[in-house]
Copies of this chain bind each other. A is one copy, B any other.
């Protein structure tokens, strides 16, 4: 049979089924989809491919899904560190955004984020930022999959004046993107403390009608809980529950402050958590009880958050941190094992974003979102278990090749749809501008 692409690999870890690692297998790709996964010896008999890739020292995995980003904020990487959350936001991040954030800023910042993510094996990101139409356009242009949040926040920005305008522009983008295969458009109300009941009610109604997920920061800090208790008499989750938002389409980011009863309710509701361990540590926000949430049956995905509070978009780092921190926080060295961390960074992300029919594992029929990682480096020797090495040893620099929907976007570490030198020049200009104010 004649097909587009055949990738031979030393190891293939499909994530579905779980905890499986195939030796000397191949992935057959046609029309952007995975059509077969079989031993290399059989694949060579069965298929003739236009492109044959030999990843003979590599592990193939499903593309990583970064389930919480503010991509354009990559332009503020390291602009202010080691500061308490409110000082960081009020004296650094917000003033810089007020001064500089516009469509051009979002375009260049998103390009930088996409380039960094692709080079690190991330094939899909779930974004929340202003000018989402620019984010969607850049994702399409560079070929990466994106879940582009239709942002909502009570206060005016350069992008929109009020909640009606946020919603109107969001819905227009949704309509424009509904036939783009790489793009989905969840609602993205910023947080319980920045979005009031009326817009949340409208979002709830529209999300049901349009069958869209709702992506929101929830229970990020104890400060948030205390402030909301004072203002509304309720913990944020309680309020969101009453508004009907806690359901299988809800994606709650952070969730560091959780009572056992809240974990149970959230699990029963079938809603999703995005864990951002590095951001939570860096801002001293608290610890998400990941092992407890997983044990309760909650689908927990992984995200980097913005590069201003991380300071990178490295899902290998985030997997490793989730596996390590999950053990420390639960006081159990067997908690969040390597396979769980890899699943959080792939399939669980796809489930949270409502796109697991399309991506998140190397299953026949899904889009060919695939990453090859070279495990032949000195630092990865010896190799007893490739799955352990992907989480505890490998770094994103070992990612050599990346495909999204069958299209190769990284080839032997070179991006095929972005010019790195041009991009670095543009970023340098923003650096000089922001430095003038910072």
Q: Give the B-binding residues of A (Cβ under 8 A).
A: 75, 77-79, 81-85, 88, 112, 115-116, 119-120, 278, 280-284, 286-287, 310-312, 314, 321, 323-325, 327-328, 330-335, 337-338, 378-379, 381-385, 388-389, 392-393, 395-397, 420, 423-424, 427-428, 430-431, 434-435, 438
Contacts and interface: CB of A to CB of B under 8 A. Distances in A.
A88 to B, nearest CB: 7
Contact of A379 (B116, B321, B438): B116
B333 A84 contact: yes
B393 A311 contact: yes
A379 B312 contact: yes
Stoichiometry, as copies per complex, reads 2
Contacts of A396: 395
A89 to B, nearest CB: 11
A327 B283 CA distance: 7
Contact of A382 (B378, B384, B434): B434
B278 A382 contact: no
A360 B192 CA distance: 48
Contacts of A112: 378, 381
A284 B81 contact: no
Listed from nearest, the 10 A-B pairs whose CB atoms lie closest are: A382-B431, A82-B337, A281-B324, A281-B328, A284-B333, A311-B392, A397-B397, A78-B388, A284-B327, A381-B427
B381 A428 contact: yes
A40 to B, nearest CB: 21
B77 A284 contact: no
Contacts of A75: 382
B81 A388 contact: yes
Nearest to A393: B311
A41 to B, nearest CB: 23
Contact of A338 (B81, B332, B381, B388): B81
Contacts of A382: 75, 77-79, 427-428, 430-431, 434
11 contacts: A77-B381, A82-B337, A116-B379, A281-B325, A284-B330, A284-B333, A312-B379, A378-B420, A378-B423, A382-B427, A383-B431
Which of A281, A283, A423 has the largest count of B CB atoms less than 10 A from its CB?
A281
Given A379-B116, A388-B81, A284 B332 contact: yes
Contacts of A287: 328
A99 to B, nearest CB: 15
Contacts of A397: 395, 397
Contacts of A312: 379, 392-393
B281 A431 contact: no
Nearest to A326: B281
Nearest to A382: B431
A144 to B, nearest CB: 15
Contacts of A286: 328, 331
Given A119-B379, A384-B431, A392 B81 contact: yes
